[in-house]
Structure 1
Amino acid sequence: MSRHHPPSPPTRSDHVPRKRFGQHFLRDAAVIGRIVQAIAPQPGQRLVEIGPGEGALTLPLLRATGALTVIELDRDLIPRIAAGTAALGKVEIIHADVLTVDFTALAAGAPLRVVGNLPYNISSPILFHCIDHLDAIEDMHFMLQKEVVERMAAAPGSKAYGRLSVMLQLACRVEPLIEVPPAAFRPPPKVDSAVVRLRPRPRAERPLDVQATLERLVRAAFGQRRKTLANALEGIAGTGQIEAAGIDPRTRAEQVAVGAYVALARVIERDTDPG
Structure 2
Amino acid sequence: MAGGKIRKERAAVGSSNHYQGGIQFHKSKGQHILKNPLLVDTIVQKAGINSTDVVLEIGPGTGNLTKKLLEAGKSVIAVELDSRMVLELQRRFQGTPHSNRLKANALYVSSYKLFEPFLLAFHCIWSVILLKLKLNIPYQISSPLTFKLLNHRPLFRCAVIMFQSEFAMRLVAQPCDSQYCRLSVNTQLLARVSHLLKVGKNNFRPPPKVDSSVVRIEPRKPAPVVNFKEWDGLVRMCFTRKNKTLGAIFKQKRVLSILEKNYKTLQALQASHGNDNQMATDAFVLGDAGELSMDMDDERDDVQDDDDMEMDDADTKSDFKDKVMAVLRVKDCEYEDKRSSKLAQADFMHLLSLFNQAGIHFS
Same fold (TM over 0.5): yes
Residue 201 of structure 1 corresponds to 220
Partner of 2:304 in structure 1?
none
Counterpart Cα distance in 1 of 2:334 and 2:206: 47
- Within 5 Å, which residues of 2 pair with 1:1-275? 13-86=21-94, 87=96, 88=98, 89-96=100-107, 97-102=117-122, 106-108=125-127, 111-133=130-152, 135-204=154-223, 206-207=224-225, 209-233=226-250, 234-235=255-256, 238-244=324-330, 246=333, 248-272=335-359
CA distance in 1, matches of 2:145, 2:334: 31
Structure 1 residue 37: Cα displacement: 0.8
Q: TM-score, normalised by structure 2?
A: 0.65
Match of 2:178, SS state, is coil
Contact 2:56 2:129 in 1 (8 A): no
Describe the shift of the 1:22–1:230 C-alpha distance in structure 2 as closer, same or farther (beyond 3 A): farther
Q: Which one has a larger percent helix, Structure 1 or Structure 2?
A: 2
- Please, which runs of 5 or more residues in structure 1 have no aligned partner? 1-11
CA distance in 1, matches of 2:37, 2:356: 51
Go from structure 1 to structure 2 and tell me whether the alpha carbon gap of 1:210 and 1:265 turns closer, same or farther (over 3 Å shift). farther
The answer on whether the counterparts of 1:144 and 1:194 sit within 8 Å (CA) in structure 2 is yes
Could you tell me which runs of 5 or more consecutive residues in structure 2 were left unpaired when the two chains were aligned.
1-19, 108-116, 260-323
CA RMSD of aligned residues (A): 2.6
Q: Name the CA shift for 1:76/1:221 in 2 (closer, same or farther; >3 Å).
A: farther
The CA deviation at 1:152 is: 1.0
2:60 and 2:78 in contact (8 A); partners too: yes
Bigger radius of gyration among the two: 2
Residues 45-99 of structure 1 deviation map (CA, whole Å, 9 limit, x = unaligned)? 1211121122121111012224111222223322122332343132233334223
Kindly indicate whether the alpha-carbon contact (under 8 Å) linking 1:67 and 1:90 is maintained by their aligned counterparts in 2: yes
The separation in 2 between residues aligned to 1:261 and 1:110, in whole angstroms, is 33
Query: Residue 71 of structure 1 contacts residue 95 of structure 1 at CA under 8 Å; is this kept in 2?
Result: yes
Q: How big is the shift at 1:109?
A: 7.9
Q: Tell me, in whole angstroms, the C-alpha distance in 2 between the residues paired with 1:212 and 1:62.
A: 39
C-alpha distance in structure 2 between counterparts of 1:196 and 1:134, whole Å: 21
TM-aligned CA deviation for residue 24 of structure 1: 1.4
**CA distance, structure 2, for counterparts of residue 110 and residue 23 of structure 1:** 25
Shift of 1:213: 0.5
Task: Report the residue type matching 1:177 in the other structure.
Answer: L
Instruction: Give me the TM-score of the superposition, normalised by structure 1.
Output: 0.84
